[in-house]
């Protein structure tokens, strides 16, 4: 089961609502690019026969169904969207709580996620979901493999890599080294329209807004633009020797060389 | 009553990581604001000797475990220690291991989580954090809600705090409260493949000379290494250069690599795509050298030199050596 998030495209205009939440309706939305690597990894495991089926799970507004449909166009079998008015502004803890409840119902051997999301970048959801579900975590895999009843990831270390293993079921996250995500074919896009998609509310998961502390334990109290940097100093159309003198002087003025 | 500030302190090969020393200094500063003390939650090979963190700012140490198993396997001990201490905050480094343990605390204890942050302070007994979101286009200031538990988990970016120098003293080390390792303890390392050559730790580098697609080959990185050596720094890379196999992935800077904050970042043949930018945009000084006058890095570098890096870098290295009298 690949968990994916719909995020604003990096190129699109972003706005905040009056209560300091990201206005998701105002931005062009895409599958979080790092989640596409998780999709790719899952589909490769399915193609090699290592896993039987691939499903997708997302939590978000109604429009997040589009992201699930796009994932289904890449491959896989079915999708589930958890959507509820009570989930607006969900933080890492609330997101993990809801995903964990949904995964408890689905009970996949592997819940697979991207290593980070483009918009929040905490990378906390995989570990928090594993803790909430009471299953092992295999994180930051540059490759995920399944061997009988165990899953393994290749994971970068300070100066090399380790192979880390745990008995399934597990929560796993993968990096952008697993292989470039495929494009959806026209045939895939057509096929995706017929693949089953379920929609669950908080009530379907046996959760109430109170269980989620109003969907967040954190709140944003201020949003501002970063301080403007001084304009870039450009050196162009000069000889290499002149450029080198300018750089060396610039470094010296900043006591960097 | 004062409240403790806890921090995760990872040990590798008998020594604390640079991140642990940074967080020790940060926790000590925050503890003066909260009226408590800085408590290290130490794990990894060598953590038994974590009393040495006393010189770095820790008042005491809780030992989670000193075996070389994955960081996440210390989650139950970390949760037991945090449950007993009830610190105002647990600071965690925004590294893969730090994030895993922080996430486990969020899940096991139901705690509010922040970050990765570039500033944190205590105001009226509450944690307040500053985070760059949406690829650095906005800064958000956050705090726990009224109904949130009393401990906040805060992911901290590298170089947010500066390690103390010349400190002395030793902190008392106590074992973490007994806890079953539980399901998160089941991940185990079954193979370890260290690199043949030493790999620089970019998070500690004062100067980084980074190369991208424009460097063209693994051999091309030699002139970057020479400049880095002349400047007393290390070599880094964009994802394109790491994907091409020119440098190890440990040197990749960006969204899926390291986040760095050196005094000087030199980008050579790097276009400056947003995924790279989020890994280096807080560098104090950014110099970019690129053939393409329209490269995006030219829009946010402090000094942008349009030119051929293969001509400029060797001359620059020679000029820096000459000025240093080498």
Domain boundaries, chain A: 2-215
Domain contains B40: yes
Fold of A2-215: Rossmann fold (3.40.50)
Average of per-residue pLDDT across B162-190: 94
What pLDDT shows up at residue A18?
65
Domain contains B195: no
Q: Do A139 and B100 touch (CB under 8 A)?
A: yes
Cβ within 8 Å of A, B 212-271: 230-231, 239, 243, 249-250, 255-256, 263-264
Q: Quick one: tokens of B246?
A: 């020119």
Distances (CA, A) of B143 to A96, A226, B261: 19, 19, 25
In angstroms, the CA A100 to CA A217 distance is 17
Largest CA distance in chain B: 63
Query: How close B167 gets to chain A, by Cα (Å)?
Result: 26
List, in sequence order, every residue forming a beta bridge with A16; answer none if it has no partner.
Answer: A22
Give A226 or A10, the one with higher predicted confidence.
A226
| Identity of the residue in B132, B136, B303 whose CB atom sits nearest the CB atom of A250 | B303
Reported as a single tens digit per residue, the pLDDT across A32-75 is 999 999 999 999 999 999 999 999 999 999 999 999 999 999 99
List, in sequence order, every residue forming a beta bridge with A154; answer none if it has no partner.
Answer: A143, A163
Please say which residue of B151, B186, B221 terminates a domain: B186
What pLDDT shows up at residue A228?
82
Q: What percent of chain B has pLDDT over 70?
A: 98
pLDDT at B166 over 80: yes
Query: How close A187 gets to chain B, by Cα (Å)?
Result: 30
CA neighbor of A56 nearest in space, from A2, A11, A126? A2
pLDDT at A2 over 90: yes
Reported as a single tens digit per residue, the pLDDT across A4-31 is 999 988 765 556 666 666 666 656 789 9
pLDDT at B295 over 70: yes
> For residue B176, what is the domain's CATH number?
3.40.50.620
B246 shares a domain with B107: no
Q: Do A232 and B142 touch (CB under 8 A)?
A: no
For B88, the domain range is 3-186
Structure confidence at residue B198 as a pLDDT band (50, 70, 90): confident
| Identity of the residue in B116, B128, B320 whose CB atom sits nearest the CB atom of A248 | B320
What pLDDT shows up at residue B241?
97
Reported as a single tens digit per residue, the pLDDT across A76-101 is 999 999 999 999 889 999 999 999 99
At A124 the three-state DSSP class reads coil
B174 shares a domain with B216: no
Question: What value does the CA radius of gyration of chain A take, rounded to a whole number of Å?
Answer: 22
Q: What percent of chain B has pLDDT over 90?
A: 87
Which stretch of B97-101, B176-180, B267-271, B291-295 has the lowest confidence by average pLDDT? B176-180
pLDDT at B11 over 90: yes
What pLDDT shows up at residue B282?
87
Q: Do A131 and B188 touch (CB under 8 A)?
A: no
pLDDT at A256 over 90: yes
Domain contains B138: yes
pLDDT at B90 over 70: yes
**For A129, nearest residue in chain B (alpha carbons):** B107
Structure confidence at residue B111 as a pLDDT band (50, 70, 90): very high
Reported as a single tens digit per residue, the pLDDT across B120-160 is 999 989 999 999 876 667 899 999 999 999 999 999 999 89
Query: How close B140 gets to chain A, by Cα (Å)?
Result: 5
Contacts of A121 in chain B (CB under 8 A): 116, 133, 255, 278
Domain contains B194: no
| Identity of the residue in A92, A163, A213 whose CB atom sits nearest the CB atom of B190 | A163
Reported as a single tens digit per residue, the pLDDT across A238-255 is 999 999 999 999 999 999
Q: Quick one: tokens of A16?
A: 């905040």
**DSSP state letters, B53-73:** GGGGT-SEEEEEE-S-S-GGG
Domain contains B196: no
B181 shares a domain with B207: no
How many Cα neighbours within 13 Å face the side chain of B289? 24
B313 shares a domain with B267: yes
What pLDDT shows up at residue A226?
85
Q: Do B201 and A162 touch (CB under 8 A)?
A: no
Number of compact structural domains in chain B: 2
B115 shares a domain with B255: no
Average of per-residue pLDDT across A217-222: 94
**For B94, nearest residue in chain A (alpha carbons):** A122
Average of per-residue pLDDT across B158-177: 92
pLDDT at A118 over 90: no
**For B308, nearest residue in chain A (alpha carbons):** A240
Q: What is the mean pLDDT of chain A?
A: 93
| Identity of the residue in B191, B287, B293 whose CB atom sits nearest the CB atom of A236 | B293
Average of per-residue pLDDT across A198-221: 94
Q: Which residues, 6+ apart, have CB-to-CB distance to B143 below 8 Å?
A: A218, A219, A221, B126, B127, B128, B129
ipTM: 0.94
Average of per-residue pLDDT across B248-255: 95
B267 shares a domain with B120: no
B64 shares a domain with B119: yes
What pLDDT shows up at residue A168?
98
pTM of the model: 0.94
Domain contains B192: no
Q: Quick one: tokens of A106?
A: 């689905």
pLDDT at A196 over 80: yes
B180 shares a domain with B35: yes
Structure confidence at residue A257 as a pLDDT band (50, 70, 90): confident
Please say which residue of B144, B159, B186 terminates a domain: B186
Residue whose token pair is 């895409």: A30
What pLDDT shows up at residue A21?
67
B96 shares a domain with B57: yes
Average of per-residue pLDDT across A141-163: 95
Interchain CB contact of B49 with A (< 8 Å): no
CA neighbor of B90 nearest in space, from B183, B178, B4? B4
> For residue B228, what is the domain's CATH number?
3.40.50.1220
Domain contains B250: yes
Domain contains B197: no
Reported as a single tens digit per residue, the pLDDT across A198-208 is 999 999 999 99
Say if residues B144 and B126 touch (Cβ distance below 8 Å): yes
pLDDT at A218 over 60: yes
Reported as a single tens digit per residue, the pLDDT across B43-82 is 999 999 999 999 999 999 999 999 999 999 999 999 999 9
B239 shares a domain with B175: no
Structure confidence at residue B204 as a pLDDT band (50, 70, 90): confident
In angstroms, the CA B144 to CA A137 distance is 26
Please say which residue of B154, B186, B218 terminates a domain: B186
pLDDT at A119 over 80: no
Q: What is the mean pLDDT of chain B?
A: 95
B79 shares a domain with B48: yes
């Amino acid at each position: 089961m690949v968990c994916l998030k719909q995020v604003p495209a990096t190129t699109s205009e972003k706005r905040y609502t009056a209560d300091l939440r990201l206005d998701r309706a105002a931005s062009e939305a895409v599958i979080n690019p790092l989640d596409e690597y998780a999709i790719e990894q899952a589909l490769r495991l399915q193609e090699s026969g290592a896993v039987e089926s691939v499903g997708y799970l997302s939590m978000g507004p109604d429009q997040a169904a589009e992201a699930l449909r796009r994932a289904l166009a890449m491959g896989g079998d079915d999708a589930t969207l958890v959507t509820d008015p009570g989930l607006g502004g969900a933080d890492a803890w609330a997101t993990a709580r809801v995903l964990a409840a949904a995964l408890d119902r689905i009970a996949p051997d592997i819940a697979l996620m991207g290593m980070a999301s483009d918009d929040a970048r905490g990378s906390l959801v995989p570990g928090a979901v594993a803790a909430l579900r009471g299953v092992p975590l295999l994180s930051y895999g540059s490759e995920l493999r399944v061997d009988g009843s165990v899953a393994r990831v290749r994971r970068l270390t300070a100066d090399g890599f380790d192979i880390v293993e745990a008995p399934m079921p597990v929560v796993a996250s993968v990096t952008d080294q697993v292989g470039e995500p495929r494009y959806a074919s026209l045939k895939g896009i057509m096929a995706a329209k017929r693949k089953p998609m379920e929609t669950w509310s908080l009530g379907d998961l046996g959760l109430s807004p109170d269980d989620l502390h109003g969907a967040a334990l954190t709140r944003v109290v201020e949003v501002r633009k970063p301080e403007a940097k001084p304009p870039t100093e450009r050196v162009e159309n000069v000889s290499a020797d002149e450029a080198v003198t300018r750089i060396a002087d610039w470094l010296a003025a900043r006591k960097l060389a | 009553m004062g409240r403790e500030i806890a921090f995760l302190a990872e040990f590798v090969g008998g020594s604390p990581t640079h991140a642990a020393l940074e967080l020790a200094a940060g926790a000590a500063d925050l503890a003066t604001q909260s009226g408590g003390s800085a408590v290290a939650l130490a794990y990894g090979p060598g953590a038994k000797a974590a009393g040495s963190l006393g010189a770095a700012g820790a008042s005491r140490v809780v030992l989670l475990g000193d075996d070389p198993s994955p960081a996440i396997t210390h989650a139950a001990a970390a949760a037991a220690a945090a449950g007993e201490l009830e610190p105002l905050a647990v600071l965690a480094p925004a590294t893969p291991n730090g994030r895993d343990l922080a996430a486990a605390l969020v899940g096991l204890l139901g705690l509010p989580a922040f970050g990765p942050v570039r500033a944190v302070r205590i105001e009226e007994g509450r944690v307040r954090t500053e985070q760059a979101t949406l690829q650095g286009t906005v800064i958000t200031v956050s705090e726990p809600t009224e109904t949130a538990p009393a401990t906040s988990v805060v992911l901290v970016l590298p170089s947010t705090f500066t390690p103390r120098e010349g400190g002395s003293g030793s902190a008392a080390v106590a074992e973490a409260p007994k806890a079953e390792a539980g399901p998160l303890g089941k991940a185990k390392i079954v193979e370890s493949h260290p690199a043949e050559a030493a790999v620089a730790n970019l998070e500690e580098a004062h100067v980084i000379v980074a190369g991208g697609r424009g460097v063209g080959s693994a051999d091309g990185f030699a002139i970057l290494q020479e400049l880095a050596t002349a400047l007393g720094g290390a070599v880094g890379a964009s994802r394109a250069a790491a994907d091409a196999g020119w440098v190890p992935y440990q040197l990749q800077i960006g969204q899926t690599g390291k986040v760095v904050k050196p005094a000087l970042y030199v980008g050579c043949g790097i276009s400056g795509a947003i995924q790279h930018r989020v890994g280096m945009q807080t560098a104090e000084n950014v110099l970019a050298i690129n053939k393409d006058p329209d490269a995006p890095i030219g829009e946010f570098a402090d000094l942008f030199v349009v030119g051929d890096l293969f001509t400029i870098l060797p001359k620059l290295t020679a000029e820096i050596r000459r000025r240093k009298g080498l």
